[in-house]
Amino acid sequence: MMAPPTHRRAGQRLLAAVVVAWVPPASFEIRAPDDLRALESRVREVAARARESVVGILMPAPGAPAGAPDAGSGSGTIISADGWVLTAGHVGQAPGREVKVLLADGTEVKGLTYGQHFGPDGDVGLVKIQAAGRELPFVELGAAQSLPTGTPVIALGHPLGPERSPWRPPPLRVGRVIGRDGWLLAIDAPLSPGDSGGGVFNLDGQLVGVNSAASERPDLNLAATAERAQSLMQSMKEGLATGAWLSDAAKDPIEASAEWYSERRGEDAPVRPGDSDAERRDQSERRAAALEALAPLSDPYADAIVTVIVDSRDACHGVFIDDEGHVLTKASELGTAARRIDILLNDGLSVQGKRVAVDRDLDLALVATSSTDATPVDFADAPAPALGDAVVTVGRGMAPMALGFRSLGRYVSGSSDAACRAYLGIAMRPPGEDERAKLPDGLGQMVVSVIPGGSAAQAGIREGDAIVRIDGVPIDSPEAAAAPLRVHAPGESAMVDVWSGGAVRSLEVRLLRPTWIDVRANAGGPVSRRATGFGEVIQHDGVVPANSVGTPIVDSQGRVVGLNIARADRMKTYALPSARVAASVRAMLERVAAGDVLSDEDPAGGVAAARFGADGFARLEPGAARVMGPTAVVLAGEAPATPAAIGGWADVDDVAFWRIEIPSMGRYDVSLDVKGMAGGKVDVFFGNDLMTVPVPRGMQDFARVRVGESVAMEGGTITVRLQPLGRPLGPMMELRAVVVQRTDLLRAVEKVMPLLRFRDMERFKREFEREKRRRERQEDSK
């Protein structure tokens, strides 16, 4: 019979630490591929056993009715056969709370929080499972204080909360001990919110730490030691709430801890274990040495790895897949057809590329090049790695880019991938009986709200409409919209069948990036533009930056087992299994061989050309533009007489196109009618001329910002294109117009030579700047 916890705060009764005897291994170093294979074997053995003891903890809101959304979630580890779960104190927060506990197989059981400790001196707590005779797997407590720096450890938990439809077991992450300080253990296994309370295990399968805090660096995370949990075990079993941040029942413990750390910023800030200069240097040197030792696994393929450059930006990587110059890369990073694609080869030279085929389901693209010297990579049907198997990411140099371990078995990217989704910007509900009778075949979901400025609002979808299909997929429940949207990156378009006013109309809807992106998921670096909806993937914990996906992964035997396709959040990278990649490549090459090659679509096609007025000015306004990208949207004026503006501009792939009729050769001055917000540099293409202008941040009102002067050698229609230069720090600006002024009327015979000299100088300057950027990239990659 379970005794109820005591609702007393503070308390001095502590049990002296009783630690299970364990002889720590010597600091493990990878000096050759055989060492990796030995580590891999140990990880596989421990992972299956330890994962059975890890649980998810769902915290209902106080007083919430049955079926209400949970207020939060965390993780924990079962440490006894009778159902004691060790978790973090900031997860449980108070004794006597009823919680839901999800076992490793997804089974839900009831639980109750007991004692919790949360303060500058510890972060541990207990939950008791109401086992009802169920046999529970559990692990023993080990010793953290005796673990040498560099010792491998395994971290388990439920990052970003449990996934239940379908069930996702706790993902495995492998790292090393990188520091210790009192009750804190620093590890470099990547963690995320939701992992709090999960377990850190040694290679004997003993619990040596409790996940406590994730830093902005994915490779620096903190856990409470098992020794600290042992020292508080008796008071926690008695139901005591202890620790400075639980001392005031009226104050939120998380806010209390944030205030405590805020008061100690600057010179008084405590240095976190693992974060000192010496510890960072040691961590970096160990990682570099391990990767260098694994060069024999990746070096045979390194010559085939390229950098894909889109408009002077390192967008992603790619790999040669045949001897005819075809590069396989990530489709959604290539941007619109107007973007220039260059392929930076392994020898430092670059060639221009042209996309010729796309597999939208897998987000793969074939880019044709003139380079045929590299040895291609063959994605043969190698055995897929199992849970705990090592995966090595091939880099551009001899040494691999990253080392990781497979975190899950068979897995289809799921509900924790919200950080990178495109969205419609609506809320839906099932139709009532009367509404269903009006819908075609009774199919569709009613729109109950539309986010202003969102994808649906831009397309003209309104409250009271019904969404019938998305890309041909019937929408028979509000949740059914997720599947067809997952295959799109923000900025792409979906075909949406909308019932409105008694009829169904098909709309091409540009899908925008969510404004509610969870910044915690992005801490540690950008996520990929599209990072979900690929079907079955290999999830691993190797830290592969978003601009480095498109790289092969090999196993500990050196066999190519997949292709990195997305950085999904701070703790996971997705790779496509080799068998799926090989099938996609075959299909795309067959289409190319049959002449089914992607055409060069003109993004400005169909845009009406603006003309100059009698005053010598032309205004290129939002209503006349084709606006594309993940965040750029046309904003209506606040009042009927207020001009519209193009807002957003928070993504490097945002772009607007206009066409303008140039009456004759001459000089034309370009400026922006703009209000800077986050500010930043903007590229303005005026025909073939490229000009860059900084937009000031924090402008209070609209003003003219001069871009520069361009020279037209003849009359005719040209395209004007505007886009951010580099990754914006936030919404850059609101743009009311691009203003073009004709500054002179030149006679061809008298002025052609000076104009030619001026134009040659401008072209020289552009080529000089482009070459300078390429050299800087090459230096950075060394």
In the chain, where the domains are located: 31-61+71-247+270-288, 294-414+519-593, 422-510, 609-746, 750-782
pLDDT band, residue 271 (cuts 50/70/90): low
% pLDDT > 90, the chain: 63
Task: Give the max Cα distance, the chain.
Answer: 103
Question: For 294-414+519-593, which CATH class?
Answer: mainly beta
Question: For 31-61+71-247+270-288, which CATH class?
Answer: mainly beta
CA distances 330 to 35, 417, 548, Å, are: 33, 18, 10
Residue 679, phi then psi, degrees to nearest 5: 75, 175
Query: For position 4, what pLDDT does the model report?
Result: 36
CA distances 482 to 423, 424, 445, 470, 471, Å, are: 9, 10, 13, 10, 12
- pLDDT: which is higher, 690 or 272: 690
User: Residue 195 above 60 pLDDT?
Assistant: yes
pLDDT band, residue 2 (cuts 50/70/90): very low
**Can 294-414+519-593 and 422-510 be said to share one CATH topology?**
no
H or E segment and range at residue 299: helix 295-302
By the 8 A CB rule, do 50 and 22 touch? no
pLDDT band, residue 382 (cuts 50/70/90): confident
Q: Residue 72, class by beta-carbon neighbours within 10 Å (0-12 exposed, 13-18 middle, 19+ buried)?
A: middle
- pLDDT: which is higher, 501 or 66: 501
CATH of 609-746, one of 3.10.620.30, 2.60.120.260, 3.30.450.260, 3.50.50.60: 2.60.120.260
By the 8 A CB rule, do 665 and 715 touch? yes
Strands of 552-554's sheet in order across? 402-405, 390-393, 552-554, 560-569, 572-577, 536-540, 411-412
Neighbours of 317 (CB within 10 A): 29
R_g of the chain, CA atoms, integer Å = 29
Query: For position 550, what pLDDT does the model report?
Result: 98
By the 8 A CB rule, do 101 and 89 touch? no
Please, how many CA atoms are within 13 Å of residue 429, restricted to the half-sphere of its CB?
Answer: 9
Q: Which residues of 755-771 are buried (b: 16+ CB within 10 A; e: fewer)?
A: beeebeebeeeeeeeee
Query: For position 250, what pLDDT does the model report?
Result: 78
pLDDT band, residue 763 (cuts 50/70/90): low
Please give the CATH architecture assigned to the domain spanning 422-510.
Roll (2.30)
Query: For position 584, what pLDDT does the model report?
Result: 97
- CA 445 – CA 477 distance, rounded (Å): 6
493-543 pLDDT per residue, tens: 999 999 998 999 999 999 988 655 544 445 667 888 898 889 999 999 999
Query: For position 778, what pLDDT does the model report?
Result: 65
Query: For position 465, what pLDDT does the model report?
Result: 95
Q: Which of 13-17, 265-269, 410-414, 765-769 has the highest mean pLDDT?
A: 410-414
pTM of the model: 0.85
Listing DSSP states for 97-119 in one string gives -EEEEE-TTS-EEEEEEEEEEEE
CA distances 183 to 133, 139, 192, 223, 265, Å, are: 35, 20, 20, 8, 21
State how far Cα 570 lies from the chain centre. Answer: 7
pLDDT band, residue 8 (cuts 50/70/90): very low
Angle formed by the axes of helices 277-293 and 295-302, nearest 10°: 70
User: Residue 761 above 90 pLDDT?
Assistant: no
Of 552, 709, 596, 701, the closest CA to residue 638 belongs to 701
% pLDDT > 70, the chain: 87
Query: For position 268, what pLDDT does the model report?
Result: 58
